Amino acid sequence: MEVLDHEQIKQVFEHEKRPPVVPNLANVDWGVLDYFGWIHPAGHQGYVVVPLANDEIRGLVLRRSIASVRKPRFEMCSWCNHVHQSSGTAMFSTIVRGSDERKTVGNLMCRNLDCSLRIRNLCSDPPSYMGETIDLGNKVSRLQNSLYRFLHRSNSLYAMES
């Protein structure tokens, strides 16, 4: 994705009641990212910034829940299709815009919001337990489609009217 600066990311979240603290961007390798995601230091929230095909960007605030006791089992990230052996995913949910906080949508996703690194095998932990033969280009478009679908489901695909 294109390089974003601190100001641009802040702007994406300016309508949020509690805007996130934007992390240090000095070491971000934008070239290997399809979306920019980070986790609040307290661990209960995640944030994603998603570039759209028309060069606009969207942001989502996500609530993160990690099951505390869990039997080892395979879990697949619904954004990047990476298969984790155990504890690699978390449930992320967001409030549907315009629902007066009554509706949420959620997905099981990579717990550190690092899908882009996973599809490029840039994570140090084990590769996906379900090997795939599709090439990176297809993995990228599948991830992008999942992101757009999630934005659509949470009613966040269109710009917020200010």
Query: Judged by CB under 5 A, which of 22, 33, 49, 77 binds Zn ion?
Result: 77
Query: Judged by CB under 5 A, which of 80, 83, 117, 151 binds Zn ion?
Result: 80
**Residues contacting 136, CB < 8 A, separation 6+:** 119, 120
Q: How far apart are CA 50 and CA 53, in angstroms?
A: 10
Q: How far apart are CA 114 and CA 159, in angstroms?
A: 25
Note whether 83 binds Zn ion by CB under 5 A.
no
Stretch that binds Zn ion, among 14-22, 29-37, 44-52, 71-79 (CB under 5 A): 71-79
Nearest approach in angstroms of CB 134 to Zn ion is: 15
Buried b (16+ CB within 10 A) or exposed e, 49-64: bbbeeeeebbbbbbeb
Using Cβ positions, the residue closest to Zn ion within the complex turns out to be 77
Nearest approach in angstroms of CB 116 to Zn ion is: 8
User: Which residue in the block uniquely carries the two structure tokens 């290997």?
Assistant: 32
Nearer residue to Zn ion within complex by CB, 35 or 57: 35
Note whether 110 binds Zn ion by CB under 5 A.
yes
Q: Show the tokens assigned to 124.
A: 């140090």
- Residues forming contacts to Zn ion in the complex (CB under 5 A) are 77, 79-80, 82, 110, 115
